[in-house]
Amino acid sequence: MENFMKIGIISDTHGIFREEWHRHLDGCDYLIHAGDFCTQKNYDCFRNFGIPLYMVRGNNDRGDWAKNLPEFLQFRIGGKTFFLVHNQFDLPFDLTDADFLIFGHTHHYTFYERFNKVYINPGSASDGRGDSKSLAILTLSGNDYSLERVIL
């Protein structure tokens, strides 16, 4: 793919920041965190990652540091519209403009296309709850994309 953008997608880090994640996310142009940082220290590690970061509050993000995190976020990267929320059941019904829907919460990797929309849950990077720990790397190139699941 020429003229591509790499987007790291991670969720449910639950108070942990592992150097292994940094190795896998190195070289990404953007980073998306779908919530459940759980601690300010973990939140600060991602905020200081050095690339643009899109993030939302998860059900375990409490305290003063989490008050200003949005419950959902809509944004554009590379001409594509993203909708980010922690729990997929909190997705709004009108997603007309969204190309990619990113969520976490379940700790299980999910990837599917439906009605010209791409749904991605990168899984949990800290505790797979019966599934492998993982994150995802989304690569955009024009109207094409590819998704890589990274098993941790």
Residue 128 has what pLDDT? 66
Residue 100 has what pLDDT? 98
Residue 91 has what pLDDT? 80
The answer on pLDDT for 131 being more than 90 is no
Q: What is the pLDDT of residues 12-27, one digit of tens each?
A: 999 888 888 889 999 9
Which has the closest alpha carbon to 74: 124, 32, 126?
Answer: 32
| Mean pLDDT of the chain, nearest integer | 93
Under 8 Å between Cβ of 122 and 136: yes
Amino acid sitting at position 28: C
Q: What is the pLDDT of residues 82-113, one digit of tens each?
A: 999 999 888 877 788 899 999 999 999 999 99
- Per-residue pLDDT band at 2 (split at 50, 70, 90): low
Give the least confident one: 13-17, 72-76, 77-81.
13-17
Residue 20 has what pLDDT? 87
Number of domains in the chain: 1
The answer on pLDDT for 1 being more than 80 is no
Mean pLDDT of 35-60: 95
Give the Cα separation of 16 and 150 in Å (integer): 17
The range of the structural domain enclosing residue 80 comes to: 5-151
More confident residue, 48 or 94: 48
CATH code of 12's domain: 3.60.21.10
